[in-house]
Structure 1
């Protein structure tokens, strides 16, 4: 890969933020971009290449060697860096535990709702100015449609926990009783930060385990999660490629949430 200076920095319209076990995306021909944002450096240098005629930026959420635990990921720097490169649409593959026995390991889900159960994470770029973004539907409908394929599950609520520990049985049983479908550690604040930057965003969740409360076994182990993700990485990557090809071009009016507002900061 070729390192780029700021004067010859490549642009991309679509981005992929890779989850646990998803540390690279391009085989060859990608440019590597190192950025420093007002919020620090992103998790790793961003690679920019081409997928089905679309310019695509790839960023491994946890770093190239999984250096960042879920609560320590530089979420604001990651999203800001992608927007700096011109990104308008973000696909966010991730690992998730299932709260439904019908959705076993290997199931690919395109959730339509999010529940935040994290604590202490900075979840906004706006510390003043009375800016309150619309977030009733946290995922872009157009991107969700692009990601839906035969064999994927349409809909479901993703509950995001602080981590890095997994849930207790009582916690996951409670989540399931609420009617929530998946549990994950990284979906928030990533989704809301993308919305604040007016970037379309959709999660693609790969089920790696049945969460503790609905599994009669010993509970979730990280080694098993990583192994299941690796087993299904090929099908997940194929889905992401198809979603990129199907993603609409140009700005999305639905995700442009700052119309008429005076922002306290200038967006990149």
Structure 2
């Protein structure tokens, strides 16, 4: 079964025909929201709002472990995450969509593993490819089928948040090879890997990163860009479900 993690701009999926809504208690506490079971273009899937349905959870306060555990416990085998990001690379402009293939983790003090309790078997997960290539390919194919242009590949730099980055931090990230900057990509991807779930992301570029534009970054501009870009992200999800059904 497919699970969708909706981020900023996708706290609700209006196209989803909701069949059930349930609260899931996990060994790691409460998930960010209730889990919605529904049909999208004929495909049954689960949906969770990463920041809560009212978008009240800051990136560093999201209970990533509970979210991933809850989806797994309900039968999810593949997760598509939707993330709002800033563009660092020259070819990652506001309004673009990207299906990243790599991550650099700059976050700290987050609950980043399931392997930290008494009696829990230690895992050293193989994380060379943090995003599942087959699921990434399905997303790029779904985008092409929907007539939507996406950047195939890219390095997602996960920052702590909730503040935006300084220009110096972005310069460092660019030297490190990051194409995108966001706040929610980790530990989500690693936790999915620990539970042997396929995982990929649709990244919506909603602003140029700090210091890379002559214009100041404003929340109003970010929200406006998110509202426009999420339309295409949802079209990719619909196209993906159509392909999975056929």
Answer yes or no: same fold by TM over 0.5: yes
Q: Partners in 2 of 1:27 and 1:126 — Cα distance?
A: 34
Divergent runs of 4+, >3 A: 26-29, 244-249
The aligned counterpart of 1:23 is: 11
Matched, 1:174 2:172: yes
- Any idea what SS the aligned residue of 1:164 has? coil
The aligned counterpart of 1:101 is: 90
Of 73-82 and 20-29, more deviation after overlay is shown by: 20-29
The aligned counterpart of 1:225 is: 222
Q: Partners in 2 of 1:248 and 1:132 — Cα distance?
A: 35
- CA separation of 1:49/1:27 partners in 2, compared to 1, >3 Å: closer, same or farther? closer
Aligned length: 236
Q: State TM-score, norm by structure 2.
A: 0.91
Structure 2: stretches of 5+ with no match in the other structure? none
Root mean square deviation, CA, Å: 1.6
Shift of the alpha carbon at 1:122?
1.1
Q: Is the 8 A contact 1:146 1:247 kept in 2?
A: no
Q: State TM-score, norm by structure 1.
A: 0.84
**Structure 1, residues 153-195: CA drift from partner, whole Å, max 9, x if none?**
1000000000001110011011112221000000000000011
Higher relative CO (Cα under 8 Å, sequence separation at least 6) belongs to: 2
- CA separation of 1:30/1:24 partners in 2, compared to 1, >3 Å: closer, same or farther? farther
Structure 1: stretches of 5+ with no match in the other structure? 1-12, 250-268
Matches within 5 A, 1:152-171: 152-171=150-169
The aligned counterpart of 1:37 is: 26
Q: Is the 8 A contact 2:16 2:39 kept in 1?
A: no
Alignment partner of 2:40 out of 30, 51, 60: 51
- Any idea what SS the aligned residue of 1:214 has? coil
- CA separation of 1:153/1:201 partners in 2, compared to 1, >3 Å: closer, same or farther? same
- CA separation of 1:107/1:36 partners in 2, compared to 1, >3 Å: closer, same or farther? same
